[in-house]
Structure formats: C-alpha cells, structure tokens
Chains A and B, each alone.
Chain A
Amino acid sequence: MNDLPQQLASGLILGAMYGLIAIGYTMVYGIVQLINFAHGEIVMFGAFGGLTAWLLLPQGTALTLALPLMLVMAVGVSVLVGIGAERFAYRPLRNAPRLAPLITAIGLSIMLQQLIWSFYPDAKKARSFPQFSGESVQLLGANVQRGELFLLIAAPICMIALGFFVAKTRTGRAMQATSQDPDTAKLMGINTDRIIVTAFAIGAAFGGVAAIAYGLKYGQIDFKIGFILGLKAFTAAVLGGIGNIYGAMVGGVVLGLAESLATAYIEHIPGMELFGGGAWKNVWAFVLLILVLLVRPQGLLGERVADRA
C-alpha cells in the first residue's frame, strides 16, 4: 500500500477530467432535462481543434507557448459544435417526446465521429498529441506528469469561475431561475432560449478544456475517444447528482479515485485476484454507480427534484 499517494493522485487527476466533462451533461440537464449524449463527441472535436492549432504553428514552437492558442481553439471548436447541436439538433425537438432528442443525440454522436474519421487528415488511426518533455513533478509523495499538471490547475479555476458565474451574475441567476421553473422564468423577462444556448456553450467550453487535458495526459487522440469519455463523465454526473454543478465535480473525483484504487488494490483482496488491473476498471466504475444509485437515487449531492415546480 505504499503507493497509495500515487494512486490517489492518479485518481484525482482522472476524476478532475471526468468532472470537467460531466459539467457539460449536468448544465444542460439542469436547464432542459436533456441528456446530451453527443457531449463526448463535442469533447473529441475540441481535442482535434487543439491538435489543429498545434499543427498550424511553426514547427519547434514551445508547447508552453502553444498551449494558450491550443486551448482557445479547443474551446472554440467545442463551443461551436455545442451551440450548433443545440440550435439544429435539439431546439427543433424541444416539445417532442423525450425519446426523440435521445435518438438524435446518438445519431449526432455517430455523425461527429464519422466527420473526423472521414475528413481529418490521417485520423483513421490515432494521432499523436504534443507532449511536455521533462521529468515528472513530485507532489505530496506522488509523481505527477507535466501534462497532468495542466488539469490540476485548470479544473479548480474552471470550477471556481463557474460557481461565481452561476451564483453572482445576472445571467447565472437567470440560469438558476430557468432551471427551477422555465415558464415562470419567461414571465420575469428572461429569454430562456438564450439561457439554454449559454448552458450548452459553457458545458462545451469545459469539454474543450478537458479535451486538451486528455491529449496532454495520454499523448494521442482519435475519433472514438468521445465515447468512453462521455460515458464516464455521464456516470460521474449521475453519481454526483445530475443537474448539480458541484455534484458533477464530486462525482468525477469519486469515480476517478474508485477506478484508480480498484485497479491497484482489488486484486490483493483474497478471492478477488481475477478482478484487478486496468482491464476491470470500467466494470468497477459502473458497479460504483449502481451501488450509489441503490442507496441514493438522486446521486451524492443530489438535486432535490421534489421541489421542482
């Protein structure tokens, strides 16, 4: 167990990434009660946006210098795709039965994957993502890769900014009102269409940040990464209590820690030798989800659905 600090750090890093992506599910769900299953692909597009920025820069540019531009591109591409999805895929179905937007989301996911597969140069296989060179950093007894540091800095900044935005700004207040009672929000003079677009945009922007984090962490991206990332982040959002922005981050971190600890230690439990290692980590993630939902169907920080008007 002397690698515990390392496992905790890995779990936290993974969890912060899940949490950032989970924000996208939870923001949109909180406002329109829609699960945007194409969100994983919005993140994937962001990753390719970031890569494009890197490829457009002159060869030999330092990654530290390139990073801001890559970030802007990733966020920009994700936001464009997110807003486009809302405008053209979901808005026409606003009053349709719930199954319709769900099926649309799945179709949109496949379409977005195929767009990259078909048109992005050499994207039929994984493309490598720029990496920070240099030694890993010692943090509280754990080795943290330089690329992972980005996440440890970006995730808290994003969360604090979002918390401030929702609680303190006029648009944030309008967002809370729309989430609690959309019709009455309209009666206050709130343009709820604009609020919905804003929710999609913020979620997508966080996805763009997570996309860069993913690339830096794993060193390569492909057109399929959105699927499992989206599924995990959706799990994190449900785990934390869908609709609750802090729940998304808590759910992400809990999920990340569970994966990392299960991968490292389950095989040491007598009788569980077969179920350890990375191959089982997704299984443990979903087992955790099921267990939490059995005890707390509303998720860890759960939205109080009962007082929804």
Chain B
Amino acid sequence: MPLLEVEDLRVAYGKIEAVKGISFSVEAGQVVTLIGTNGAGKTTTLRTLSGLLKPLAGKITFDGEVINDMGAHKIVAKGLAHSPEGRRIFPRLTIAENLQLGAFLRKDASGIQRDIERAYTLFPILGERRGQAAGTLSGGEQQMLAMGRALMSQPKLLMLDEPSMGLSPIMMQRIMETITELKAQGTTILLVEQNAQAALSLADHGHVMEIGTIALSGTGQELMHDESVRKAYLGED
C-alpha cells in the first residue's frame, strides 16, 4: 500500500475548480514530483493534502487512514510535513524558535535538541545565526530554514512547494543537493517544482499538471526524455 494515495481529488475556490480530479500516489522512500505551469493547481493540491483546504470530492489516504476531513494540525501529527510555497518562516521569531516550532508536537526534548543540531549541520548558516530573527535571512537561507523546520516534525512524508523559487542559480543548486541528500537518507518527498529539469532528474516518478488535471505521468527519466515535456518545460524547441 502506498504511503500517500490521492484518488480523483477535486478542489475549488468558491465556484472555481482549481483541481479537477487528479490521482497519484507516493510510495515510502520515493521522491515524486509535480511539475506544471503557473496556476496548474500544484499548490492547491499540496494545501489540500496538508488540510489547509478541504477537498470538494475525492479521497486522500495517508499512512492507511483517510485524511479528507482531518484538521491540518492532526495531519501533521500523522507524519505529513509541508514546507509551503514562499517559505513562510515566522519572521519575528528567531531561527532557533522557528525550528522548535517545527517540533511543536514532539515531546522528546533531547531528541528535538539533537535534530536542531542536525539542521545546523545540514545548513551551517542557520547555526551561525540561530539567535537572529528569521526575517533577516536571505531568500535562500529562509528556504533552508523552511525545509529544516519541516524536517523537525520527523515526517513520514515531506512536501516541498517550489523550494527553488526566486533563488540564485548557486542557491538553487544547493537546495537541490540537499533534497538529493535527504532522498539518499530515505526521506519520502513530494516535490512541487517549476525547475522541471532539476526536479525530474532526482524524482522516481513525476506528474505533469495542466490547469487542474494531470496531463502526463511517468518516471523522472521518461518525462525528462518526453518530447512534449522537453518543449513545454525544459525550454527546448
């Protein structure tokens, strides 16, 4: 049984349907990516999976339980972490406090401390500036903090929404390397990206979203070599 199974999911903002019946699944240990143009419905999908939006129809099963109607804070408790689009760190809290909030539901103080140290090892800049307000970090550093914070809940599935958005090429590469590293450690990841090249090259499976539907699915390699994908998303003609 897959860790996450999405069946015929539909989500609407008022009368406008942003996700029009998509199905896909994520197996434990996999990296699955959703790519697609602006407004395709990727963020809407992730926000529905984490409980911030309620589905219009369809079924979301996570770790053996249907989570359609579960509150967002309960879904986190079940092991689904979401690093949202635009990073959304808490700007007036310190870096350390942001990381501690990522572990809000955990009770093991020493384990939390160990994982904070691990985040500092993964992203040394966070450790150097741990006492500073998170709002003072650069965009790339904020992205590191957002990922570190999401990992603090020890998730079974980590959802990342456009972690490379707005970053310099070097920073983007740094973030992608981190995702590769997390994958190597066995972290299950659902990755939403506009940078299709990078996302597909490290994904086991990929789905191409177009205006609320999944237009094409395949392994990362298949999609990377698919002609229509190359034309639309990899900037070739």
**A interface with B by C-beta (< 8 Å):** 170, 173-174, 176-177, 180-181, 183-192, 304, 307, 309
- Say how far B92's CB is from chain A's closest CB, in angstroms: 6
**Extra 7 A-B pairs, beta carbons < 8 Å, given A189-B73, A304-B92:** A180-B91, A186-B51, A186-B73, A188-B105, A189-B76, A190-B101, A307-B91
Interface residues of B in 181-207 (CB under 8 A from A): none
Q: Is the CB of B101 within 8 A of A307?
A: no
Within 8 Å of chain A (Cβ to Cβ): is B24? no
Please name 19 pairs of A and B residues whose Cβ atoms are closer than 8 Å in the assembled complex, sorted by A: A173-B93, A173-B100, A176-B90, A176-B93, A180-B90, A181-B88, A183-B52, A184-B84, A186-B76, A187-B76, A187-B81, A187-B82, A187-B84, A188-B102, A188-B153, A189-B77, A190-B101, A307-B92, A309-B88
Max chain A Cβ within 10 angstroms of own Cβ: one of B81, B84, B92, B102: B92
Contacts of A176 in B (CB 8 A): 90, 92-93
Given A183-B52, A183-B84, A188 and B104 contact (CB-CB distance below 8 Å): yes
Which of B71, B91, B102 meets A309, CB within 8 Å? B91
Given A173-B101, A192-B73, A187 and B50 contact (CB-CB distance below 8 Å): yes
Q: Is the CB of A181 within 8 A of B153?
A: no
**Alpha-carbon gap, A115 to B182, bound state (A):** 61
Contacts of B71 in A (CB 8 A): 186, 191
Contacts of A188 in B (CB 8 A): 73, 76, 101-102, 104-105, 149, 153
Contacts of A304 in B (CB 8 A): 92
Contacts of A186 in B (CB 8 A): 51-52, 71-73, 76
List the 4 closest A-B pairs by CB distance, nearest first: A186-B72, A189-B76, A189-B105, A184-B88
**Alpha-carbon gap, A189 to B150, bound state (A):** 11
**Alpha-carbon gap, A307 to B87, bound state (A):** 13
**Alpha-carbon gap, A192 to B84, bound state (A):** 17
- Say how far A306's CB is from chain B's closest CB, in angstroms: 10
Which of B52, B91, B92, B93 meets A187, CB within 8 Å? B52
Within 8 Å of chain A (Cβ to Cβ): is B210? no
Given A183-B52, A189-B76, A177 and B88 contact (CB-CB distance below 8 Å): no
User: A187's closest neighbor in chain B, by CB?
Assistant: B82
Contacts of B102 in A (CB 8 A): 188
Contacts of A190 in B (CB 8 A): 73, 101, 104
Within 8 Å of chain A (Cβ to Cβ): is B139? no
User: A303's closest neighbor in chain B, by CB?
Assistant: B92
Q: What number of A-B contacts does a CB cutoff of 8 Å give?
A: 68
Contacts of B72 in A (CB 8 A): 183, 186-187
- Say how far A64's CB is from chain B's closest CB, in angstroms: 42
Chain B: interface residue count, which band?
A: 20 to 34
**Alpha-carbon gap, A263 to B51, bound state (A):** 55
Within 8 Å of chain A (Cβ to Cβ): is B27? no
Q: Is the CB of B90 within 8 A of A181?
A: yes
Which of A177, A183, A191, A192 meets B101, CB within 8 Å? A177
**Alpha-carbon gap, A187 to B72, bound state (A):** 6
Q: Is the CB of A180 within 8 A of B92?
A: yes
- Say how far A181's CB is from chain B's closest CB, in angstroms: 6
Within 8 Å of chain A (Cβ to Cβ): is B63? no
Within 8 Å of chain A (Cβ to Cβ): is B8? no
Contacts of A185 in B (CB 8 A): 101
**Alpha-carbon gap, A51 to B99, bound state (A):** 47
Interface residues of B in 64-101 (CB under 8 A from A): 71-73, 76-77, 81-82, 84, 86, 88, 90-93, 97, 100-101
**Alpha-carbon gap, A84 to B76, bound state (A):** 29
**Alpha-carbon gap, A268 to B150, bound state (A):** 63
Instruction: Report B92-124 CB contacts with A as 1/0, cut-off 8 Å.
Output: 110001001110110000000000000000000
- Say how far B221's CB is from chain A's closest CB, in angstroms: 32
Contacts of B97 in A (CB 8 A): 173
- Say how far B43's CB is from chain A's closest CB, in angstroms: 12
Contacts of B81 in A (CB 8 A): 187
Contacts of A183 in B (CB 8 A): 52, 72, 84, 88
**Alpha-carbon gap, A180 to B94, bound state (A):** 13
- Say how far A174's CB is from chain B's closest CB, in angstroms: 7
User: A192's closest neighbor in chain B, by CB?
Assistant: B73
Contacts of A170 in B (CB 8 A): 104
Contacts of A189 in B (CB 8 A): 73, 76-77, 104-105, 153
Q: Is the CB of B105 within 8 A of A177?
A: no
Which of A177, A191, A192 meets B90, CB within 8 Å? A177
Q: Is the CB of B135 within 8 A of A177?
A: no
**Alpha-carbon gap, A190 to B73, bound state (A):** 6
Contacts of B149 in A (CB 8 A): 188
Contacts of B150 in A (CB 8 A): 187
- Say how far B152's CB is from chain A's closest CB, in angstroms: 9
**Alpha-carbon gap, A305 to B175, bound state (A):** 30
Contacts of A184 in B (CB 8 A): 84, 88, 90
